[in-house]
Amino acid sequence: MKVIETALPGVLILEPTQYSDERGYFMETFNLKRITALGLPATWVQDNLSVSKQNVVRGIHYQVEHAQGKLVRVMAGSVRDVVVDLRGQSPTFGRHVTIDLDPDSGRMVWIPVGCGHGFAVVEGPATFTYKVTDDYCAAGERTILWNDPALAIDWGIQEAIVSAKDAAGVPFHAAEVFLEMGA
């Protein structure tokens, strides 16, 4: 597995090794020993699956109670994944990275606690799956306005389809900050 560091500390792109031939390909998408050897958590409490049509934007979400680390990937379609650093002591606080994900590359993104997360479906429908390190907590969930000009995120789409909850997100300057760097 190839590990690529991003511009945000702790946010990693993981590229599994693919074994291809005329029939198609095989790749190992999760191996606990390899994941923990990279310093990622050994405890995962839930797997989630999201199917979204083209131009849907989901996020930017995070939890202040039961904060979650996430390991995300795409099984069909393609998405522009977005990670926003909300860790107040991070040298990259307030910055974001975008990572294009599709099933053929097999790329996964590790999003540590303390980061907001969202994605836009560039080619859909997209099947997006993610493992999380803590339980969902509705009372602790927060949403940052997906199109906040202060973040200037290039979502890779022209006309976004956004839920009422995501359209009502708070601007970045009003987001709750994580005081520790997270894990």
Residues labelled catalytic? 61, 130
Residue with tokens 């050897």: 37
The residues facing 50 across adjacent strands are 128
Residue type, 165: K
What are phi and psi for residue 57, nearest 5 degrees? -115, 130
| Nearest alpha-carbon partner for 181 in 41, 10, 13, 43 | 10
Sign of the four-CA dihedral 38, 47, 81, 122: positive
DSSP 33: H
